[in-house]
A and B are shown apart, each in its own frame.
Chain A
Amino acid sequence: MVILTMNGVRVQAEEGSTLLEVARFYGIDIPTLCYHDELTPYGACRLCMVEVDDGRRTRLVASCLYLVREGIKVKTHTERVMKGRKLILELLIARCPNSKTLQDLASKMGLDKVRFKMENKDCILCGLCLRMCAEQMGSGAIGFVGRGQKREVVTPFREASEICRNCGACMYICPVVETQCRGIKSPGELCNSCLIITPQCSEKYGQVMCTLDSCGACVEKEKKIV
């Protein structure tokens, strides 16, 4: 067992576990997009960054990859972290404005403005699908090609893959293949409806009682995250 401090609280963690696992175990909510607990962490979305003080210096690390160490002090929601996470999300929404996952996350994190020109892409290049395909389905029918702006997920040589069994696991795990958010704004914009509309349930009962899977933004906004 390793003892570390997380947001000021001394916590215990199993050796070899990541900061993200520990944080989630203790109920601390760290947003992620490229992480899944059954797949090898990849560290690409950078939303899970947290501040770690190892006694020598304080730096930002990806909590999905960083392993616990004795005595380190971790802060998961500092101003520096929150500011960066928000900007990264802003960059992602500007790339894929029609993803409900991203829009919900935006509401949850209080992102109310996108300062970049909106594009209209679908894939956020989180790499979950290809890890799913290779690690869980034992196939490896898809992969990344290209560098930088040209990066995309395709089958080898863009031809129908011989080893693809059409299992659909890639689609299952994709965080952005979903019905568009049907907020009050037109597609291609930052929605934020959840922030603008106060749900009746919350007014009446003091809590959100969505029948659908809720983002919880309406209450989250009032709560000041420490």
Chain B
Amino acid sequence: MKKIRTPQGLEALQNSLLQRRDSNKSCVRVCIGTGCRARGSVVVAEAFRNEIKKQNLEIPIDTKQTGCHGFCESGPVIVIGPREIFYQRVKLRDVPEIVSKTLLNGEIIDRLLYVDPTTGQKVLYEHEVPFYEKQRRQILANNGRIDPTDILDYIAVGGYQALAKAITTMSCDEIIGTVEKSGLRGLGGAGFPTGRKWRVCHKVPGDVKFVIGNGDEGDPGAFSDRSLMEANPHSILEGMIIGAYAIGANQGYLYVRAEYPLALKHLQIAIDQAREYGFLGSKIFSSGFDFDIKIIQGGGAFVCGESSALVASIEGKVGEPRAKYIHTVERGLWNEPTNLNNVKTWASVPLIINNGADWYAKIGTEKSKGTAIFSLVGKVNNTGLVEVPMGTQLKEIIYDIGGGILEGKKFKAVQTGGPSGGCIPEELLDLSVDFERLTEAGSMMGSGGMIVMDEDTCMVDVARYFLDFLQYESCGKCVPCREGIKRMLEIVTNIAAGRGKKEDMDLLQELAETIKDFSLCGLGKTAPNTVLSTLRYFREEYETHVRDKKCPAGICKDLIEYFILEDKCTGCGACLKLCPQQAIDAYGLTHTIDPAKCIKCGICRDACSFEAIMVK
């Protein structure tokens, strides 16, 4: 009988686990998150297990497979306890050496250490890597520490104690009050006060209520929800159970896109284990409270992350938003009161219950509390998951954590909030990152995507790219979104192709404002952000495209020309061999490009070792 019925029982289990787990024992933790997995970490983990067996070690060594650390670009990453030595880019052939040298003799293998690109120094421990050093990891704290497929690991780090505390010592009112007081705001994008949402849902009369965890994460650049679901699924479940108890719901749903197979697998394992231990099911912690969670797989449409479309999708209907003049908390899933939160929001709840509302409210700014998680990608040295207190400056994230722009290039803009966020220019780099400031700057918190762009980026091209995504993902129900985004794309494509007219920019502005005002759901309401923000901060770039028919960044194909610098070309022929168009001629010593044949694919430029191929 594994079921845990009392807080004392839970504590006893945790103590016995901690006792059994010698903290001085060596332990290899291999990340098998999606990023590291793609670089072969599963094989590496397996090899560790075999190698340890083969070398017939006297001291016992644990191997553990953990979820994503959020530093995927250095994968596969491993951490060796108890000293917490951090190795990155570990290959299969490194495994025997790590076992015999580091595990047995405590020797450090130099070449596997992380090198700080700014100082050139080697870093021994994970927490000293600058990427992690400046972060404040709360929600992601246990990613990479625990085995997501083992509930005991979660219990050992204090898991489910918030649930025990909430159910056995707090009233529903107290729980909601604590969440309200903490200032927690929805991390799914809109930043709606979570406590207030719970309060309304709690108050609405109804015997049947639902809670939903939104793990759809439709933003193509973001992976924080995925990472959390893969690496620490129990934290989400615990938050949902507490929320359901406070609100009075007996059934929960986790909506996760089918493109996240590992997250789905880990969540299902977590749910099964939670049932086994009695954290899900009937009479949780011997109270009168019954609750269960079911996973629903989404088909992967961006719009299905929107609350009303998500509800429709769970009901088996077409995932299409509806007007929310009657809120989901009053009439949601199957017309019953429904409380929907993002998975990161749910995972914040146990932290708040454990540490208290004041603890949480101290972190962040006046109006935005707690931490924000960003998926830092693009032209920065360190890409990965970043969790920082609300109010951290953009430049701290990009330069201190991200390690600055790749190849020492110049920063141009950063896009926050996913495809419908805005682009923020260099002048605003000291902007503090919170819900209010980002919105004022014409962007948003959104799903926590953060794409850094360097001087080689054309903002017209960026706007075109995101509009193309949005017109494809628009559900097509309402006219401004369906027809309007299409027309914005048409205009921007014309501008990028040198067919722009002067009046196009005004029409673009007018369209953007109307789409924002008149669209039915958040997709349409935010879709014009990229256009509006690039028009606001990078207007002269549009003007150059329209007036001079030139693309200053050298990106828009119709406006550029490739040519070869005579004095730099050595006539080596590397470009010539690769050109798919046979557009390069080799008369004389140097090469020339025939503009009539050139399709501007850029293969020649990449192939040239002498920087002889330029764009004008």
Contact = CB atoms under 8 A, between A and B. Distances in A.
B507 interface: yes
A150 B323 CA distance: 22
- Among A87, A92, A117, chain B packs the most CB atoms within 10 A around the CB of A87
Nearest to B487: A116
B476 A67 contact: no
A49 B320 CA distance: 20
Contact of B322 (A43, A91, A115): A43
Interface stretch (A141-149, A159-167, A172-180, A182-190): A141-149
Contacts of A148: 471-476, 482
A125 B482 contact: yes
A65 interface: yes
Interface string B453-475: 00000000000000000011111
Given A84-B517, A87-B514, A44 B474 contact: no
Given A91-B484, A144-B318, A116 B490 contact: yes
B480 interface: yes
A169 B312 CA distance: 27
A46 B520 contact: yes
Contacts of B517: 49, 60, 80, 84
B473 A49 contact: no
Given A87-B511, A88-B480, 10 more contacts: A46-B479, A46-B520, A87-B480, A88-B484, A91-B480, A115-B507, A117-B490, A143-B318, A149-B476, A151-B476
Kindly list the 4 A-B residue pairs having the minimum CB-CB distance in the complex, ordered from nearest. A151-B476, A91-B483, A148-B474, A148-B476
A44 B478 contact: yes
B520 A92 contact: no
B486 interface: yes
Interface in B497-545: 507, 510-511, 514, 517-520
A125 B484 CA distance: 14
A94 B518 CA distance: 18
Nearest to B485: A148
Nearest to A145: B318
13 contacts: A45-B479, A46-B480, A46-B520, A66-B323, A67-B325, A84-B514, A87-B480, A88-B484, A88-B518, A95-B483, A116-B490, A148-B474, A151-B476
A62 interface: yes
Nearest to B326: A67
- Among B322, B482, B507, B510, chain A packs the most CB atoms within 10 A around the CB of B482
- Among B320, B511, B517, chain A packs the most CB atoms within 10 A around the CB of B517
Interface string B390-405: 0000000000000000
A149 B471 contact: yes
Which range holds the interface residue count of chain B? 20 to 34
A124 B483 CA distance: 10
A40 to B, nearest CB: 10
A67 B322 CA distance: 15
A216 B475 CA distance: 35
A6 to B, nearest CB: 17
A118 to B, nearest CB: 12
Contacts of A67: 325-326
Contacts of A117: 490
Contacts of B473: 147-148
A88 B482 CA distance: 11
B410 interface: no
Interface string A99-136: 00000000000000001110000001101000000000
B520 A62 contact: yes
- Among A61, A144, A147, A150, chain B packs the most CB atoms within 10 A around the CB of A147
Contacts of A84: 480, 514, 517-518
A88 to B, nearest CB: 5
Interface residues of A, number: 34
Interface string A65-90: 11100000000000010011001100
Contacts of A144: 318, 320, 476
B514 to A, nearest CB: 5
Contacts of A125: 476-477, 482
Main secondary structure of the interface of A (DSSP, over half): mixed
B301 interface: yes
A61 B478 CA distance: 13
Nearest to A91: B483
Contacts of A116: 487, 490
Contacts of B325: 61, 65-67
Nearest to B519: A46
A37 to B, nearest CB: 18
Contact of B479 (A65, A91, A146, A147): A91
A142 to B, nearest CB: 13
B171 to A, nearest CB: 30
Interface string A205-222: 000000000000000000
A66 B484 CA distance: 23
A46 B487 contact: no
Contacts of B318: 143-144
A45 B323 CA distance: 12
A31 B487 CA distance: 23
B486 A88 contact: no
Contacts of B478: 43-46
- Among A45, A84, A150, chain B packs the most CB atoms within 10 A around the CB of A84
A42 B520 CA distance: 10
- Among A44, A45, A127, chain B packs the most CB atoms within 10 A around the CB of A44
Interface in A47-69: 49, 60-62, 65-67
Nearest to B474: A148
B353 to A, nearest CB: 31
Nearest to A92: B479
Nearest to A45: B479
A60 B477 contact: no
A45 B484 CA distance: 12
Nearest to B301: A147
Nearest to B476: A151
Given A147-B301, A148-B471, A148-B482, A44 B477 contact: yes
